[in-house]
Structure 1
Amino acid sequence: MSSYSYLFKYIIIGDSAVGKSCLLLQFTDHRFQTVHDLTIGVEFGARMVTIDGHQIKLQIWDTAGQESFRSITRSYYRGAAGALLVYDITRRETFQHLGTWLEDARAHSNPNMVIILVGNKADLEDKRQVPREEGERFARERGLLFIETSAKTAMNVEDAFTTTANKIYEKLQQGVFDARNELNGIKIGPQYNAGAPPGQKTVDLSKQSKQGSSEEGGCC
Protein backbone atom coordinates (compact mmCIF):
# COMPACT_ATOMS: atom_id res chain seq x y z
CA MET A 1 0.00 0.00 0.00
CA SER A 2 3.03 2.33 0.25
CA SER A 3 3.77 2.35 -3.49
CA TYR A 4 1.82 5.25 -4.93
CA SER A 5 2.64 8.32 -7.01
CA TYR A 6 0.41 10.77 -5.15
CA LEU A 7 -1.78 10.94 -2.09
CA PHE A 8 -4.98 13.00 -2.33
CA LYS A 9 -6.71 14.03 0.88
CA TYR A 10 -10.55 14.09 0.84
CA ILE A 11 -13.18 15.23 3.31
CA ILE A 12 -16.82 14.10 3.33
CA ILE A 13 -19.27 16.71 4.64
CA GLY A 14 -23.03 17.13 5.01
CA ASP A 15 -25.84 16.71 7.52
CA SER A 16 -26.12 13.74 9.87
CA ALA A 17 -27.60 10.51 8.47
CA VAL A 18 -27.22 11.43 4.80
CA GLY A 19 -24.99 8.38 4.36
CA LYS A 20 -21.48 9.83 4.51
CA SER A 21 -20.06 6.86 6.44
CA CYS A 22 -21.99 4.41 4.27
CA LEU A 23 -20.41 5.92 1.15
CA LEU A 24 -16.95 5.64 2.65
CA LEU A 25 -17.51 2.03 3.74
CA GLN A 26 -18.88 1.04 0.33
CA PHE A 27 -15.92 2.66 -1.43
CA THR A 28 -13.18 1.28 0.81
CA ASP A 29 -14.64 -2.12 1.76
CA HIS A 30 -17.33 -2.75 -0.91
CA ARG A 31 -19.93 -3.42 1.74
CA PHE A 32 -23.01 -1.83 3.26
CA GLN A 33 -24.12 -1.80 6.88
CA THR A 34 -27.82 -1.28 7.54
CA VAL A 35 -27.34 0.18 11.02
CA HIS A 36 -24.60 2.58 12.07
CA ASP A 37 -23.78 4.48 15.20
CA LEU A 38 -23.53 8.23 14.96
CA THR A 39 -20.12 9.41 13.76
CA ILE A 40 -18.35 11.17 16.62
CA GLY A 41 -15.83 13.73 15.41
CA VAL A 42 -13.94 12.42 12.39
CA GLU A 43 -13.24 8.93 11.05
CA PHE A 44 -10.82 7.78 8.38
CA GLY A 45 -10.55 5.45 5.41
CA ALA A 46 -8.18 4.97 2.47
CA ARG A 47 -8.02 3.24 -0.89
CA MET A 48 -5.86 3.13 -4.01
CA VAL A 49 -7.17 4.13 -7.44
CA THR A 50 -5.43 4.31 -10.80
CA ILE A 51 -5.48 7.52 -12.84
CA ASP A 52 -3.63 7.94 -16.12
CA GLY A 53 -1.48 4.91 -15.24
CA HIS A 54 -0.54 6.31 -11.81
CA GLN A 55 -1.39 4.76 -8.47
CA ILE A 56 -3.15 7.38 -6.36
CA LYS A 57 -3.86 6.87 -2.68
CA LEU A 58 -7.10 8.52 -1.53
CA GLN A 59 -7.02 9.44 2.16
CA ILE A 60 -10.64 10.12 3.13
CA TRP A 61 -11.86 11.84 6.28
CA ASP A 62 -15.50 11.21 7.19
CA THR A 63 -16.87 14.00 9.39
CA ALA A 64 -19.73 14.23 11.85
CA GLY A 65 -22.72 16.20 10.58
CA GLN A 66 -23.96 17.54 13.90
CA GLU A 67 -23.55 21.23 14.67
CA SER A 68 -21.75 20.38 17.92
CA PHE A 69 -18.86 18.91 15.91
CA ARG A 70 -18.72 21.67 13.29
CA SER A 71 -15.56 23.24 14.75
CA ILE A 72 -13.76 19.88 14.48
CA THR A 73 -14.95 19.45 10.91
CA ARG A 74 -13.68 22.92 9.96
CA SER A 75 -10.13 21.99 10.95
CA TYR A 76 -10.18 19.17 8.36
CA TYR A 77 -11.05 21.49 5.47
CA ARG A 78 -7.52 22.83 5.60
CA GLY A 79 -5.23 20.69 3.53
CA ALA A 80 -8.00 18.87 1.64
CA ALA A 81 -7.74 18.57 -2.14
CA GLY A 82 -11.25 17.19 -2.59
CA ALA A 83 -14.61 17.19 -0.82
CA LEU A 84 -17.80 15.18 -1.16
CA LEU A 85 -20.73 17.38 -0.16
CA VAL A 86 -23.52 14.89 0.54
CA TYR A 87 -27.28 15.28 0.91
CA ASP A 88 -30.12 12.76 1.14
CA ILE A 89 -32.50 12.92 -1.84
CA THR A 90 -35.34 11.73 0.45
CA ARG A 91 -34.90 14.57 2.99
CA ARG A 92 -35.28 18.05 1.55
CA GLU A 93 -33.90 19.72 4.66
CA THR A 94 -30.49 18.13 4.00
CA PHE A 95 -30.53 19.76 0.56
CA GLN A 96 -31.60 23.10 2.02
CA HIS A 97 -28.59 23.05 4.35
CA LEU A 98 -26.08 22.67 1.48
CA GLY A 99 -25.53 26.41 1.18
CA THR A 100 -24.30 26.60 4.77
CA TRP A 101 -21.98 23.61 4.29
CA LEU A 102 -20.59 25.04 1.07
CA GLU A 103 -20.03 28.46 2.60
CA ASP A 104 -18.20 26.83 5.50
CA ALA A 105 -16.06 24.71 3.19
CA ARG A 106 -15.04 27.60 0.97
CA ALA A 107 -14.24 29.81 3.95
CA HIS A 108 -11.86 27.30 5.51
CA SER A 109 -10.36 25.37 2.58
CA ASN A 110 -7.91 25.83 -0.26
CA PRO A 111 -9.72 27.84 -2.99
CA ASN A 112 -8.74 25.17 -5.54
CA MET A 113 -10.33 22.29 -3.62
CA VAL A 114 -12.47 20.13 -5.91
CA ILE A 115 -16.01 19.71 -4.56
CA ILE A 116 -18.53 17.16 -5.85
CA LEU A 117 -22.17 17.40 -4.81
CA VAL A 118 -23.51 13.94 -4.01
CA GLY A 119 -27.23 13.16 -3.85
CA ASN A 120 -27.24 9.92 -1.89
CA LYS A 121 -29.94 7.24 -1.35
CA ALA A 122 -30.92 7.25 -5.03
CA ASP A 123 -32.27 3.70 -4.59
CA LEU A 124 -35.19 5.21 -2.63
CA GLU A 125 -36.80 6.77 -5.69
CA ASP A 126 -40.32 6.40 -4.29
CA LYS A 127 -39.34 8.60 -1.32
CA ARG A 128 -37.48 11.23 -3.36
CA GLN A 129 -38.01 14.84 -2.22
CA VAL A 130 -35.23 16.50 -4.24
CA PRO A 131 -35.45 16.14 -8.05
CA ARG A 132 -32.19 15.28 -9.79
CA GLU A 133 -32.52 18.44 -11.89
CA GLU A 134 -32.55 20.57 -8.75
CA GLY A 135 -29.31 19.02 -7.55
CA GLU A 136 -27.73 19.47 -10.97
CA ARG A 137 -28.76 23.12 -11.04
CA PHE A 138 -27.37 23.79 -7.55
CA ALA A 139 -24.03 22.25 -8.56
CA ARG A 140 -23.86 24.01 -11.92
CA GLU A 141 -24.58 27.45 -10.45
CA ARG A 142 -21.82 27.00 -7.86
CA GLY A 143 -19.17 25.36 -10.00
CA LEU A 144 -19.42 21.92 -8.39
CA LEU A 145 -19.28 18.46 -9.89
CA PHE A 146 -22.50 16.46 -9.43
CA ILE A 147 -23.56 12.83 -9.07
CA GLU A 148 -26.35 10.78 -7.49
CA THR A 149 -25.39 7.64 -5.60
CA SER A 150 -26.69 4.76 -3.54
CA ALA A 151 -24.35 3.50 -0.85
CA LYS A 152 -26.71 0.55 -0.41
CA THR A 153 -26.54 -0.73 -4.00
CA ALA A 154 -23.09 0.80 -4.72
CA MET A 155 -24.56 2.78 -7.62
CA ASN A 156 -22.06 5.48 -8.69
CA VAL A 157 -20.16 5.29 -5.39
CA GLU A 158 -16.91 4.52 -7.17
CA ASP A 159 -17.55 7.34 -9.62
CA ALA A 160 -18.15 9.87 -6.85
CA PHE A 161 -14.60 9.35 -5.59
CA THR A 162 -12.80 8.73 -8.89
CA THR A 163 -14.43 11.62 -10.76
CA THR A 164 -13.17 13.91 -8.00
CA ALA A 165 -9.71 12.31 -8.17
CA ASN A 166 -9.60 12.79 -11.94
CA LYS A 167 -10.41 16.48 -11.56
CA ILE A 168 -7.74 16.92 -8.88
CA TYR A 169 -5.23 15.14 -11.10
CA GLU A 170 -6.20 17.36 -14.04
CA LYS A 171 -5.58 20.47 -11.93
CA LEU A 172 -2.28 18.99 -10.80
CA GLN A 173 -1.16 18.52 -14.40
CA GLN A 174 -2.24 22.07 -15.25
CA GLY A 175 -0.15 23.48 -12.41
CA VAL A 176 -3.17 24.70 -10.41
CA PHE A 177 -2.03 22.52 -7.50
CA ASP A 178 1.58 22.46 -6.32
CA ALA A 179 2.19 18.87 -5.21
CA ARG A 180 5.21 19.99 -3.21
CA ASN A 181 2.98 22.02 -0.92
CA GLU A 182 1.09 19.55 1.26
CA LEU A 183 -1.30 22.31 2.34
CA ASN A 184 -2.98 21.67 -1.03
CA GLY A 185 -4.04 18.24 0.21
CA ILE A 186 -1.67 16.44 -2.18
CA LYS A 187 1.43 14.55 -1.21
CA ILE A 188 4.08 13.15 -3.54
CA GLY A 189 4.38 9.41 -2.99
CA PRO A 190 7.34 7.00 -3.14
CA GLN A 191 6.49 5.98 -6.73
CA TYR A 192 6.60 9.54 -8.02
CA ASN A 193 8.66 9.89 -11.20
CA ALA A 194 10.78 13.01 -10.73
CA GLY A 195 11.52 12.99 -14.45
CA ALA A 196 7.86 13.69 -15.27
CA PRO A 197 6.78 16.51 -12.95
CA PRO A 198 3.21 17.78 -12.75
CA GLY A 199 2.22 20.03 -15.61
CA GLN A 200 3.60 17.89 -18.42
CA LYS A 201 0.51 15.86 -19.28
CA THR A 202 -3.26 16.26 -19.35
CA VAL A 203 -5.41 13.50 -17.90
CA ASP A 204 -8.17 11.91 -19.97
CA LEU A 205 -11.28 12.56 -17.86
CA SER A 206 -13.23 10.01 -19.86
CA LYS A 207 -11.36 7.27 -18.01
CA GLN A 208 -13.73 6.75 -15.12
CA SER A 209 -14.50 3.51 -13.33
CA LYS A 210 -17.73 2.43 -11.58
CA GLN A 211 -18.61 1.53 -8.18
CA GLY A 212 -16.97 3.68 4.36
CA SER A 213 -17.04 4.81 9.23
CA SER A 214 -20.09 5.00 11.19
CA GLU A 215 -23.13 7.20 10.74
CA GLU A 216 -26.62 7.48 12.15
CA GLY A 217 -28.87 4.59 11.17
CA GLY A 218 -30.72 4.40 7.88
CA CYS A 219 -28.01 5.50 5.49
CA CYS A 220 -28.08 4.03 1.98
Structure 2
Amino acid sequence: SITRAYYRNSVGVLLIYDTTNYVSFTHVTSWLNDARQQIEPYHCVFLLVGTKIDRESERQVTTEEGKAFADFHNIPFIETSSKSSLYVQEAFALIAREIYDLLIEGRIHIQKGWDGVKAGPNTASTNQNQSIDIMQNNQPHRSGCCGG
Protein backbone atom coordinates (compact mmCIF):
# COMPACT_ATOMS: atom_id res chain seq x y z
CA SER A 1 0.00 0.00 0.00
CA ILE A 2 0.99 3.65 -0.27
CA THR A 3 1.26 3.94 3.51
CA ARG A 4 3.75 1.06 3.68
CA ALA A 5 5.87 2.71 0.99
CA TYR A 6 6.15 5.83 3.16
CA TYR A 7 7.11 3.83 6.25
CA ARG A 8 10.07 2.17 4.55
CA ASN A 9 12.25 5.27 4.54
CA SER A 10 10.92 6.87 7.70
CA VAL A 11 13.09 7.93 10.58
CA GLY A 12 10.27 9.63 12.48
CA VAL A 13 6.61 8.62 12.79
CA LEU A 14 3.83 10.63 14.39
CA LEU A 15 1.08 8.33 15.68
CA ILE A 16 -1.85 10.74 15.81
CA TYR A 17 -5.22 10.01 17.36
CA ASP A 18 -8.25 12.18 18.08
CA THR A 19 -8.88 12.62 21.83
CA THR A 20 -12.60 13.10 21.05
CA ASN A 21 -12.85 9.77 19.19
CA TYR A 22 -11.94 6.64 21.16
CA VAL A 23 -12.03 4.47 18.03
CA SER A 24 -9.08 6.41 16.60
CA PHE A 25 -7.10 5.60 19.76
CA THR A 26 -7.83 1.88 19.36
CA HIS A 27 -6.05 1.94 15.97
CA VAL A 28 -2.76 3.25 17.36
CA THR A 29 -1.44 -0.21 18.27
CA SER A 30 -1.89 -1.52 14.73
CA TRP A 31 -0.33 1.66 13.26
CA LEU A 32 2.67 1.28 15.55
CA ASN A 33 3.12 -2.42 14.75
CA ASP A 34 2.68 -1.82 11.02
CA ALA A 35 5.25 0.98 11.02
CA ARG A 36 7.78 -1.03 13.02
CA GLN A 37 7.39 -3.99 10.67
CA GLN A 38 7.89 -1.86 7.55
CA ILE A 39 10.83 0.15 8.92
CA GLU A 40 12.96 -2.79 10.10
CA PRO A 41 15.94 -3.17 10.16
CA TYR A 42 16.28 0.60 10.55
CA HIS A 43 15.75 2.51 13.79
CA CYS A 44 12.83 4.92 13.94
CA VAL A 45 11.58 7.50 16.42
CA PHE A 46 7.89 7.41 17.29
CA LEU A 47 5.80 10.13 18.92
CA LEU A 48 2.26 9.55 20.17
CA VAL A 49 0.13 12.65 19.60
CA GLY A 50 -3.36 13.20 20.98
CA THR A 51 -5.17 15.97 19.09
CA LYS A 52 -8.16 18.25 19.70
CA ILE A 53 -7.42 19.01 23.35
CA ASP A 54 -9.29 22.28 22.86
CA ARG A 55 -12.50 20.19 22.87
CA GLU A 56 -12.16 19.01 26.47
CA SER A 57 -15.92 18.57 27.00
CA GLU A 58 -15.96 16.03 24.13
CA ARG A 59 -12.90 14.10 25.29
CA GLN A 60 -13.16 10.30 25.05
CA VAL A 61 -9.48 9.43 25.57
CA THR A 62 -7.91 10.65 28.80
CA THR A 63 -4.41 12.04 29.04
CA GLU A 64 -3.64 9.15 31.38
CA GLU A 65 -4.66 6.59 28.73
CA GLY A 66 -2.41 8.22 26.15
CA LYS A 67 0.49 8.45 28.59
CA ALA A 68 0.04 4.82 29.69
CA PHE A 69 0.13 3.65 26.06
CA ALA A 70 3.25 5.70 25.38
CA ASP A 71 4.96 4.48 28.55
CA PHE A 72 4.13 0.86 27.76
CA HIS A 73 5.62 1.19 24.26
CA ASN A 74 8.50 3.39 25.44
CA ILE A 75 7.67 6.29 23.12
CA PRO A 76 7.25 10.00 23.90
CA PHE A 77 3.76 11.50 24.20
CA ILE A 78 2.24 14.94 23.74
CA GLU A 79 -1.27 16.33 23.37
CA THR A 80 -1.99 19.18 20.96
CA SER A 81 -4.65 21.42 19.52
CA SER A 82 -4.43 22.38 15.86
CA LYS A 83 -7.29 24.83 16.32
CA SER A 84 -5.46 26.86 18.97
CA SER A 85 -1.94 25.83 17.86
CA LEU A 86 -1.29 24.58 21.38
CA TYR A 87 1.85 22.38 21.49
CA VAL A 88 1.85 21.73 17.72
CA GLN A 89 5.27 23.27 17.17
CA GLU A 90 6.54 21.51 20.29
CA ALA A 91 5.43 18.13 18.90
CA PHE A 92 7.52 18.58 15.76
CA ALA A 93 10.45 19.95 17.76
CA LEU A 94 10.24 16.96 20.11
CA ILE A 95 10.48 14.36 17.35
CA ALA A 96 13.19 16.34 15.53
CA ARG A 97 15.23 16.56 18.73
CA GLU A 98 14.86 12.80 19.34
CA ILE A 99 16.04 12.03 15.79
CA TYR A 100 18.96 14.44 16.08
CA ASP A 101 20.03 12.96 19.42
CA LEU A 102 20.02 9.44 17.97
CA LEU A 103 22.04 10.63 14.99
CA ILE A 104 24.64 12.23 17.27
CA GLU A 105 24.73 9.10 19.48
CA GLY A 106 25.36 6.98 16.39
CA ARG A 107 22.15 4.96 16.77
CA ILE A 108 20.88 6.32 13.45
CA HIS A 109 23.35 6.40 10.56
CA ILE A 110 23.44 8.15 7.23
CA GLN A 111 23.63 5.27 4.74
CA LYS A 112 23.66 5.00 0.99
CA GLY A 113 20.51 3.37 -0.31
CA TRP A 114 18.38 4.53 2.64
CA ASP A 115 16.40 7.73 2.43
CA GLY A 116 15.71 8.03 6.17
CA VAL A 117 18.43 10.59 6.96
CA LYS A 118 20.54 12.16 4.25
CA ALA A 119 23.72 14.19 4.51
CA GLY A 120 23.57 17.73 3.19
CA PRO A 121 25.87 18.89 0.38
CA ASN A 122 28.40 20.41 2.80
CA THR A 123 28.55 17.48 5.24
CA ALA A 124 32.11 16.23 5.73
CA SER A 125 31.26 13.28 7.96
CA THR A 126 28.12 11.37 8.82
CA ASN A 127 27.85 12.34 12.48
CA GLN A 128 29.19 15.84 12.96
CA ASN A 129 28.91 17.15 16.49
CA GLN A 130 27.33 20.42 15.48
CA SER A 131 24.66 21.89 17.66
CA ILE A 132 21.28 22.61 16.19
CA ASP A 133 18.74 24.73 18.03
CA ILE A 134 15.55 22.71 18.05
CA MET A 135 13.71 24.64 20.73
CA GLN A 136 16.00 23.19 23.41
CA ASN A 137 14.76 25.55 26.13
CA ASN A 138 11.25 26.28 24.91
CA GLN A 139 9.43 23.13 26.00
CA PRO A 140 6.10 23.68 27.65
CA HIS A 141 5.74 22.57 31.23
CA ARG A 142 2.21 21.25 31.45
CA SER A 143 1.34 18.52 33.87
CA GLY A 144 0.27 15.39 32.04
CA CYS A 145 0.97 16.82 28.58
CA CYS A 146 4.29 15.39 27.63
CA GLY A 147 6.29 12.36 28.57
CA GLY A 148 8.84 9.89 27.43
Q: TM-score range by the shorter chain?
A: 0.7 to 0.9
Please list every run of at least 4 consecutive aligned residues from structure 1 whose deviation after the TM superposition is greater than 4 angstroms.
199-206, 208-211
- 1-side partners of 2:78 and 2:25: how far apart? 14
Query: What value does the CA root-mean-square deviation take over the aligned residues?
Result: 2.4
Residue segments in structure 2 that go unaligned for 5+ positions in a row = 141-148
Which structure shows the bigger proportion of residues in strand conformation?
Answer: 1
Q: What's the CA shift string for 1:19-42, capped at 9, x where partnerless?
A: xxxxxxxxxxxxxxxxxxxxxxxx
| Counterpart mapping for 1:53-132 below 5 A | 71-110=1-40, 111-132=42-63
1:182–1:123: structure 2 CA closer, same or farther, 3 Å change rule? farther
| Counterpart mapping for 1:1-220 below 5 A | 71-110=1-40, 111-181=42-112, 183=114, 185-192=116-123, 194=124, 197-198=126-127, 200=129, 207=136, 209=138
State TM-score, norm by structure 1: 0.57
Which structure shows the bigger proportion of residues in helix conformation?
Answer: 2
Q: Which amino acid aligns with 1:140?
A: D
- Structure 1 range deviating more: 182-191 or 107-116: 182-191
Say whether the 8 Å CA contact 1:89–1:130 is kept in structure 2. Answer: yes
Query: 1:191: how far off?
Result: 4.0
How many aligned residue pairs are there?
A: 139
State TM-score, norm by structure 2: 0.83
Q: Which amino acid aligns with 1:134?
A: E
1:93–1:152: structure 2 CA closer, same or farther, 3 Å change rule? same
Query: 1:181: how far off?
Result: 3.6
Query: 1:184: how far off?
Result: 5.7
Indicate the structure whose relative CO is greater, using CA pairs within 8 Å and at least 6 residues apart.
1
